[in-house]
C-alpha cells in the first residue's frame, strides 16, 4: 500500500482491515505521504457473510471457525476517531452510495500534516559530545578564574576565546568549584541523551560551542542558589 501511495494517485485498499490498529497504520502512512484519506464501511450482516463464504471456490473459503473469529474480532470503524474519518457507512442493500461526498473527501478534503512522532529526527553532529564536554569545562574554568581575580557576584564576561565571550550572572557570593561541577554534570547528562536520540523534544538542537556556552551559562544562572 505504501509503495502505491502518491499525491497523483487514488488508491483503493480493499483489504481485511478489520483491526483499528491496522487502519491507524494506514492513516499514519497517508499522513507521511501528505495525501487525503477516507474510510468506506460497507455493512453486511454476519449471516450474509457466512453465505458468501460458503459460495466461494473450495480453496478460497475461510474455515467456519476462522470466519467466526474474524466476526468476533471485528472492530467497527467510528467517525469519532481521526483515523476512520471521514467515514462513509453504506448498507449492503443500499442501491446508491454517496459518491459525490466520497469524491469531494478524496479530492478536496483537508490534507493533514505528518505526525510529529513519526518524523525522522535530525541527528547531532559527530563532534557534539566533544563540544559539549570541552565547552562546559571551559565555562567552569573561566568562572573560577574570574573569581580568583577578585570578581564576586554580578554579571561577568567569560573569555573562552577571541570570539566566544558568554555572559553569566552569579549570586553575590563566591561560587565553589563543587557547585559548578555538579551543575556541569547535570547539564552534560541531559544533553548527552539528546545527542543519543538526535533531538530533544521538538526541532533540532544547535550544538555549536557558542550555543552550548550560552545555554550552560543560562543553566548556571537558573540553578545556582543565592
Tens digit of each residue's pLDDT (9 = 90 or more) over 104-148: 999 988 887 776 555 555 566 667 788 888 889 999 998 888 888
Same domain as 98, residue 168: no
Indicate whether 17 and 107 sit together in one domain: yes
Decide which of 73, 94, 118 is a domain's last residue.
118
> In this structure, are 85 and 145 located in the same domain?
no
Co-location of 26 and 114 in the same domain: yes
Kindly state the cell numbers that stand for 40.
468506506
Q: What is the mean pLDDT of residues 91-106?
A: 90
- At residue 156, what are phi and psi to the nearest 5 degrees? -125, 155
Final residue of a structural domain among 64, 94, 118: 118
Chain-centroid distance, C-alpha 157? 38
CB atoms within 10 A of CB 28: 16
Contact 136, 190 (CB under 8 A): no
Residues 206 and 153 in one domain: yes
User: Where among 118, 148, 164 does a domain terminate?
Assistant: 118
Q: Are residues 59 and 135 in the same domain?
A: no
Averaged confidence pLDDT in the chain: 84
70 and 159 part of one domain? no
Question: Mean pLDDT, to the nearest integer, of 81-110?
Answer: 90
Range of the domain at 168: 127-224
Cα separation, 1 vs 56, whole angstroms: 26
Q: What is the pLDDT of residue 204?
A: 53
At residue 69, the pLDDT reads: 93
Spell out the residues 6+ positions from residue 69 whose beta carbon is closer than 8 angstroms to its own. Answer: none
Report the domain count for the chain.
2
Residues 91 and 145 both lie in one domain = no
Residue with the larger pLDDT of the pair 68 and 15: 68
Q: Which residues pair with 91 in a beta bridge?
A: 43
Instruction: Identify the pLDDT of residue 202.
Output: 44
Residue with cell string 547539564:
187
pTM above 0.85, yes or no: no
pLDDT value at residue 122? 56
7: domain CATH number is: 3.40.50.300
Based on the domain organization, do 67 and 132 belong to the same domain? Answer: no
Same domain, 135 and 190: yes
DSSP of the chain, one letter per residue?
-TTT--TT------S---SHHHHHHHHHHHHHTT----EEEEE--HHHHHHHHHTS-GGGPPPHHHHHHHHHH-----TTSGGG-SEEEEETT-S---HHHHHHHHHHS--PPPPGGGSPPPPPPTTHHHHHHHHHHHHHHHHHHHHHTT--SEEEE--SSSS---EEEE-SSPPPHHHHHHHHHHHHHHHHHHHHHSSSSSS----SHHHHHHHHHHHHHHHS--
Same domain, yes or no: 137 and 201: yes
Same domain, 8 and 105: yes
pLDDT tens-digit readout, 43-77:
999 999 999 999 999 889 999 999 999 999 999 99
Predicted confidence band at 189 (pLDDT cuts at 50, 70, 90)?
confident
Amino acid at each position: 500500500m505504501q509503495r502505491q501511495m502518491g499525491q497523483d494517485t487514488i488508491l483503493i485498499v480493499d483489504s481485511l482491515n478489520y483491526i483499528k490498529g491496522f487502519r491507524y497504520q494506514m492513516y499514519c502512512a497517508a499522513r507521511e505521504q501528505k495525501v487525503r484519506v477516507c474510510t468506506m464501511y460497507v455493512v453486511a450482516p454476519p449471516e450474509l457473510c457466512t453465505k458468501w463464504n460458503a459460495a466461494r471456490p473450495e480453496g478460497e473459503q475461510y474455515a467456519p471457525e476462522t470466519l467466526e473469529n474474524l466476526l468476533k474480532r471485528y472492530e467497527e470503524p467510528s467517525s469519532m476517531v481521526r483515523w476512520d474519518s471521514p467515514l462513509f457507512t453504506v448498507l449492503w442493500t443500499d442501491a446508491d452510495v454517496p459518491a459525490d461526498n466520497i469524491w469531494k473527501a478524496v479530492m478536496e478534503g483537508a490534507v493533514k500534516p505528518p505526525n510529529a512522532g513519526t518524523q525522522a529526527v535530525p541527528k547531532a553532529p559527530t563532534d557534539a559530545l566533544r563540544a559539549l564536554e570541552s565547552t562546559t569545562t571551559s565555562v567552569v574554568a573561566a568562572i573560577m578564574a574570574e573569581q580568583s581575580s577578585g570578581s564576586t557576584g554580578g554579571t561577568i564576561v567569560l573569555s573562552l576565546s577571541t570570539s566566544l565571550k558568554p555572559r553569566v550572572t552569579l549570586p553575590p557570593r563566591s561560587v565553589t568549584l563543587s557547585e559548578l561541577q555538579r551543575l556541569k554534570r547535570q547539564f552534560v547528562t541531559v544533553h548527552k541523551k539528546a545527542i543519543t536520540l538526535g533531538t530533544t523534544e521538538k526541532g533540532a538542537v544547535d550544538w555549536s560551542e557558542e550555543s552550548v556556552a550560552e545555554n550552560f551559562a543560562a543553566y548556571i544562572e537558573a540553578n545556582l542558589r543565592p
